[in-house]
Amino acid sequence: MTQKLQFRKSKIFEESVSENFPHESIHPSLQELLKGTELKSEEYIEQYFEKVETKGYLQITNSSLEKVLGEKYRDSLKYKLFDPKQTTFFMIDHQVWDGIEKILTLKIKEMSGNSENDQTACLEKMSGIMGDYAILSDLFKKKMLFANIF
């Protein structure tokens, strides 16, 4: 079974707060706020991190990230907020984001290189992928992008 990333947006900090601090500061602050919630991690994720609504064109799988990042992928999941035995919820850092961008680039190259595709459908899909990317990119820049692996 393929594990996909479900993207979430933090509702704990305002955008104006989170975008002015580095990931290295936001992560420990969130960990401190959520300390003691490990047993109810799924409940806290639902309460404080809303699902990111995209059009679903940019599907990121755990295996595709492992493929583009190699062994660096496991090391890059350093911004976990809860006990990893309970949930795979983490803050997206620069290394994971680079992997997402590599996957996006590969998908677009693959689509543009396939001449058998209907041009209109191909352009529509590319437009959808770029729309999803814009949503995720904006949240990443504001340091509000998180993910759960399902």
Average predicted confidence (pLDDT) for the chain: 88
**E-strand stretches of 49-150:** 49-51, 90-91, 145-149
What is the count of structural domains for the chain? 1
* φ, ψ at 118 (rounded to 5°): -65, 125
Looking at residue 60, its pLDDT comes to 94
- The values of phi and psi at residue 120, to 5°, are -65, -45
42 or 114, greater pLDDT: 42
Do the beta carbons of residue 49 and residue 37 sit within 8 Å?
Answer: no
What's the domain range around 55?
A: 5-149
pLDDT in tens, 1-40: 579 999 999 999 888 889 889 888 998 999 899 888 877 8
Condensed to tens digits (0 to 9), the pLDDT of residues 115-133 reads 666 788 888 889 999 999 9
